Structure 1
């Protein structure tokens, strides 16, 4: 159950990441900041799932 939720969370994260990359190709600085943000969010949410 938790693993399934984790997978869908990562999938959603990757989808959002792709959309942002497409939108922000001209502004790579902004894209890099958003990528960092998503990496942090995904890694912290994974840690939270592991604690359960």
Structure 2
């Protein structure tokens, strides 16, 4: 993306398409200086898929 306007347009299209967006974060384990984290997100589009 080359400009703020392009970024805004991209995110507007993305968020209009991805309805009821949900971010899931799960802490798996941690030991010493290491942390295991799982990230996932889910949504449905305007056709219900």
TM-score category (smaller protein): 0.3 to 0.5
TM-score, normalization: structure 2? 0.38
Larger relative CO (CA 8 A, sep 6+): 1 or 2?
Answer: 1
Bigger helix fraction: 1
Between structure 1 and structure 2, the one with the greater Rg is 2
